[in-house]
Structure 1
Amino acid sequence: MSDSAASTSVIELTGPDHTYLHLDGKGRPMHWAMVLELDTEGDRLTAAQVRARVAERIGLFDLFRVGIAEGRWRAPRVVLAENPDLDQHVAGADYATPEDLRRRLAKLLETPLARPNPLWHLTLFTPSGDGPQVVALRVHHALSDGIAGAAFAALLADGTPDELKEFERFATSPRFRTPPIDPEVLKESKAAFAEQHAGGRTGRGWPKLTKSGRREVALLSVSTRDLRRAARKHNASVHEFVLAAIGTTLSTIPPSTGKPAEVIRVTLPVTNDPEFRHTGNAVLVSPLNLLGSETDIGRQIERARSELATIEKRRPELASAIPDGGPQAPWPVQRLIANAAMAHMSPDVHIGINPGFSRIREVLGKRITELTALSPLAGYSFSVTSLILGKNTSFGVVIDPAALPPGYAEKFVEHFERVLREESPAA
């Protein structure tokens, strides 16, 4: 980068970035992952080829060299690596079956990224028999949210220098800083947050996240066209329909053998950057209450529509925003406050519904056939993250198998796919 001021703005962490350092802890690493499935045509890639491509690209953006020292009970120090050791950042591994691959992906979610090295890692998975190669990219949430995380595609993606410029806004724009919030807007936001929180206080029974650190994952891809047709069938938006379908599925397969929860408290990520032009974190989370024992998707859609209308009009997510330039407590106190805030929010599940941005769909000559996001478990025991990207919409499920029944992630995907299929107009 030629602009030193822009470079500084990229590597100076902000309050929203710090949140994920506060929440990071033993048994709860705060990195997200992107899983890239590659087509099976032609020769397979090698880890050496991936490493060579990364070596070509590592100097494109300062963001790729940012690491963090300390950051748990001691204040973080940003470390900008001059020459990252790519043997530590790019690995190769084999897998035997799809089930084996899911276990290995879960292990990556359980394994913290090494500090103070740059906080990202790539693993190339190769099947021992038939099957696709898969690339797993992990990035610490303090470094980037999922939207700005598109920058890391430039480490691998095929493209000319001009084509790769599409990633610049996610790598060289200033780190997001929450602007001042109008007092009246903030007052309404806090009132809405309190009402949403109160609405999810009773009738709950979702298992809480444990300190085991164990993870289980499942992946699903569906036709975006079919998803939109199913939503239109119910005169619903895609967001309303996805939330309702998830609520229906969770109501159909409650994780405990007792009485199903009447209410499921959800954290729904929303961006505070309407221009989608930032580095770092611009994500806020809004509370949303789904029905926990309702298998009629029409009634689930009614609830989802009402909840999303509240979010749009009253912006309860701003109640947890961290405005830039405010007073700073000592770092250990900030950590205690952040964890107390998450405990107070006490979410049951996380649901992310995200747009995809990249028009580049090849890596080292191999077409990307599926792209799936996996989120960290930050205070909840179940997460499903959708990525709407062109013809396909993917769903990445992560659970805590010490809180939920082992196998629940795959069971959810099986029933969720059935709900989507039954609601499709073609069914």
Structure 2
Amino acid sequence: MRRLSGLDAALLYTDSPGLPVQIGGLALLDVSTVPGGYSFERLGSDLEARVAAVPLLRRRVVDSRLNPGHPVWVDDPDFDVGRHVRRFTVPPPGTAAELAVLCGQRFAQRFDRSGPLWETAVFEGLADGSVAVLTRIHHAVVDGLAGATLLAQLCDREPGAPPPRPESPGVGGANRLTVAAGGVADLATRPLDLARAVRSSAAMVPRWVGRARRGEAMAVPLTAPRTSFNRRVTGRRNVAFVTLDFAAVKAVKRAFGVTVNDVVLALCASVLRRYLAARGELPASPLVAAVPVSVHGRARGDAGNQISVLMGRLHTEIADPVVRLHAVAADETAAKAHHATFDPDLLGSWGQVAPGAAFGAALRLYSALRLPNVLPVLNNLVVSDIPGPTDTLYYLGARITALYPFGPIYHGAGLNITVLSLDGGLHFGLQSCPDLLPDLWQLADGFPAALAELADRVPGAPPAPLAAPS
């Protein structure tokens, strides 16, 4: 068995009927490249062979009422890949809009904790003849970067490549007594974890104040302005997606001397500014985005989630898109330098000392009392930029023409925009709650225009294609 880390466990405790905590990816597949032709049955058998080489996908959570520590991962002795693969037909006319509705419905479903916490949904019936595959996985299992690595294990660089060799189970089993006994030992380390968390947090305060006085600090949590999507979320989910030409994004990056991540944040700012202004609710102060930062290689242990969070101002109060881009870039540079002073284990240390039952009960009370609607806004949204492979990928023999990543939303921050680069495209996946953002496609459809207004300001450059090549 392997005990969940503090951060992994906290994500598990956060999950509730109205708040499924999942990440996922929607792959659009050109099935004409599948050697011997596509069939759902063949896809299932090929996936089974792939999963045999990924022990992470064969683990389930086990806990005990006697366990004072966090739950544990064990290998599922009854694992059956067929329980994790679902088949759907996209209703006519088979466009992205109908596909998105089905994806939103899947993201609203919680996982059955009696088995591994993931699902692959296969969508057939798209108008262009392609097949879409949505893979969802609980956030307690992996973070975004680890999820991208997991995807790579299920894909190949060419069609028809043989599956990797199966791997034996990696974490073993456990009964409820061994889970509880290990939990007692885990509990004994809590004072050290608490001392570390308190010490790291206390050390942050004077550094933060000093940087703030010099204008070199990231945005302060709980200072974000309130918008219509900064309220309590319900259990319903909606998604939208769009692809931009990565070469056009990199041309903007080079022309203005910023990073790709700066351009991504500026595009999000432009889209949100236009959307909120049209609704008459553009705040005078800038929106604040929580930007997950990988600490893989810096944090202790081998947790599924090794992340920290950077708070970035999107400068939606600035009308000029180029001035806004430079303001976002300057703020991100300062925020990254500020974030580098943080303890990379800070979130994990606090998660380690959080009592599971009390943590979950507090979150349920927070939701039931509708406190997200009245308390200060921690951050307006989450924006995550995940580096993806530059090569063409094949999923079970089918060429991936687009891959849209999706991250979770939370009470008070009802919008997540996650971005991944692949094969010449920059793929944006948006997830929200239709009770907060019913017109999510309006946001997604605004990204090409947001890129165009920056590309048009590049000195002496000819118009660049904004849609990704097919």
TM-score of the superposed pair, with normalisation by structure 1: 0.82
| Post-superposition offset of 1:22 | 2.6
Change (3 A) 1:376 1:330: closer
| Post-superposition offset of 1:77 | 4.3
- Residue equivalent to 1:175: none
Task: Give the alignment partner of residue 47 of structure 1, picking from 40, 52, 62.
Answer: 40
Moved more, 126-135 or 26-35: 126-135
**1:36 aligned to 2:27?**
yes
Task: Give the alignment partner of residue 366 of structure 1, picking from 398, 402, 424.
Answer: 398
- Residue equivalent to 2:177: none
1:183-242 per-residue CA deviation (whole Å, 9 max, x = no partner) reads 596456654699645486265435324332122111111221111002222222211121
Q: What letter matches 2:296 in structure 1?
A: D
Q: Is the 8 A contact 1:29 1:110 kept in 2?
A: yes
Moved more, 145-154 or 181-190: 181-190
Change (3 A) 1:308 1:42: closer
- Residue equivalent to 1:281: 305
- Residue equivalent to 2:329: 305
| Post-superposition offset of 1:254 | 0.5
- Residue equivalent to 1:91: 86
Q: How does 1:113-192 map to 2 (within 5 A)?
A: 113-127=111-125, 129-153=127-151, 156-158=154-156, 186-187=204-205, 191=209
Q: What SS does structure 2 have at the residue aligned with 1:123?
A: strand
Q: Is the 8 A contact 1:266 1:287 kept in 2?
A: yes
Change (3 A) 1:126 1:66: same
1:320-353 per-residue CA deviation (whole Å, 9 max, x = no partner) reads 8235599735322344678889977622111111
Count of paired positions: 406
- Residue equivalent to 2:13: 22
5+ residue gaps in structure 2? Answer: 172-192, 456-460, 464-470
Moved more, 244-253 or 122-131: 122-131
1:92-139 per-residue CA deviation (whole Å, 9 max, x = no partner) reads 111132211010011111111221210111111112543310111111
1:384-425 per-residue CA deviation (whole Å, 9 max, x = no partner) reads 111123421110011222112x22x21112222111123224
| Post-superposition offset of 1:279 | 5.4
**1:393 aligned to 2:426?**
yes
Change (3 A) 1:251 1:317: farther
- Following the alignment from structure 1 to structure 2, what is the Cα–Cα distance between the partners of residues 389 and 205? 32
Task: Give the alignment partner of residue 383 of structure 1, picking from 401, 407, 416.
Answer: 416
Change (3 A) 1:193 1:147: farther
- Following the alignment from structure 2 to structure 1, what is the Cα–Cα distance between the partners of residues 379 and 104? 21
TM-score of the superposed pair, with normalisation by structure 2: 0.75
Q: What letter matches 1:112 in structure 2?
A: R
Q: Is the 8 A contact 1:350 1:384 kept in 2?
A: yes
- Residue equivalent to 1:235: 257
1:282-327 per-residue CA deviation (whole Å, 9 max, x = no partner) reads 1111112222333311222232123212222111765982355997
**1:223 aligned to 2:245?**
yes
Q: What SS does structure 1 have at the residue aligned with 2:314?
A: strand
Q: What letter matches 2:347 in structure 1?
A: I
**1:346 aligned to 2:378?**
yes
Q: Is the 8 A contact 1:22 1:71 kept in 2?
A: no
Q: Percent identity?
A: 20
Change (3 A) 1:62 1:319: closer
Query: RMSD between aligned alpha carbons?
Result: 3.7
Q: What SS does structure 2 have at the residue aligned with 1:20?
A: helix
- Following the alignment from structure 1 to structure 2, what is the Cα–Cα distance between the partners of residues 311 and 152? 29
1:30-53 per-residue CA deviation (whole Å, 9 max, x = no partner) reads 111111111142576333222212
- Residue equivalent to 2:357: 332
- Following the alignment from structure 1 to structure 2, what is the Cα–Cα distance between the partners of residues 272 and 140? 19
